[in-house]
């Protein structure tokens, strides 16, 4: 930053003092805006984390019991049925 060393109090004029106060007020405003922005970003990230946790919990709730040997499609996508004839390598005639 381009901080200046303030002159001694006896050398300060009202204009110099006003200018210093304006600089400090401007810096305070910038810092305040940055804090507001960070708080907004943090709130958005917390919402995203909460949504992700809900999705994970939903997926975990769909998992079969450990004693269940079947496989389950966790994403809910359609899977073609397995056919024992399709287990062979494809042949060309």
Give me the pLDDT at residue 2, please.
Answer: 64
Residue 55's CB is within 10 A of a number of other CB atoms, namely: 10
Give me the pLDDT at residue 41, please.
Answer: 98
Give me the pLDDT at residue 64, please.
Answer: 76
Give percent of the chain with pLDDT exceeding 90: 48
């Amino acid at each position: 930053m381009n901080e200046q060393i303030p002159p001694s109090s006896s050398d300060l004029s009202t204009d110099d003092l006003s200018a210093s106060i304006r600089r400090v007020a401007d810096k305070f405003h910038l810092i305040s805006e940055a804090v507001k922005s960070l708080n907004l970003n943090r709130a958005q990230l917390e919402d995203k984390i909460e949504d992700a946790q809900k999705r994970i919990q939903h997926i975990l709730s769909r998992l079969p019991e450990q004693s269940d040997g079947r496989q389950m499609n966790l994403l809910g996508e359609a899977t073609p049925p397995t056919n024992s004839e399709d287990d062979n390598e494809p042949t060309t005639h």
